[in-house]
Amino acid sequence: MTEFSTDFFICHATLDGREAAHGIVADLEARDVTCWIAPRDIPLGDTWPQAIVKGIEASRAMLLVVTKGANNSQDVEKELALAAHLRKLIFPVRVTNVALSGSLLYHVQMRQWRDLFMDRESVINEIVKQIEPTRHPTLNADQPRLKRAPLTNNDRRSQPDDHQSAHGPPRAILADQLQDADELHGTIHYGLAGR
């Protein structure tokens, strides 16, 4: 199991997101949620790219501060791409009523986000609640895990109506769905709903 040193890597555009990002960090850290934010957490002597990569790798999730500047930031784009590659949970939070565009639209359009400017306290509390299960993944370790059934030739979809029977989907498809649900157990999955 991977050890994480922080809960959130805070991704923001320096141009117009610094103040909002620092406010979010203060709110989260006041609730004992740990954050990594540049330049505060870049060790003396490290290069920015080296430190950013380490920061993302060492965090459980990314909190993306969505601003107009973030839409156009190449650094935000690179950080998001790396977080997605590392399969990090990504929590987009809009601090103003800004429409997504460019690469931010590509990365965020299918993720559920929250509007901090609508009800800051509720959004901060929700973020804290959402990250909590990822901090203690072993609490449910004693529960048995379902194993994916091996795919056999009988389970392969070779005929148009083979995917559904009177008794539901074939065993392999059902096993895939159960394992997928099992893998999500105890974690937050923000990629289900888009706006």
Tens digit of each residue's pLDDT (9 = 90 or more) over 54-64: 999 999 999 99
CATH, range 6-135: 3.40.50.10140
Residue 159 reports pLDDT greater than 80 = no
85: Cβ–Cβ under 8 A, 6 or more apart, which residues?
none
Average pLDDT of the residues in 148-172: 37
* Domain layout of the chain by residue ranges: 6-135, 140-190
> How does the average pLDDT of the chain come out, rounded?
77
9 contacts 56 by C-beta, under 8 angstroms: yes
pLDDT in tens, 27-40: 999 999 999 999 99
Residue 122 reports pLDDT greater than 90 = yes
Confidence of residue 138 (pLDDT cuts 50, 70, 90): low
Residue 85 reports pLDDT greater than 80 = yes
Residue 87 reports pLDDT greater than 90 = yes
Closest CA to 140 of 187, 180, 104, 101: 187
% of the chain residues with pLDDT over 90: 58
Q: Which of 17-26, 28-37, 83-92, 109-118 has the lowest mean pLDDT?
A: 109-118
pTM score above 0.85: no
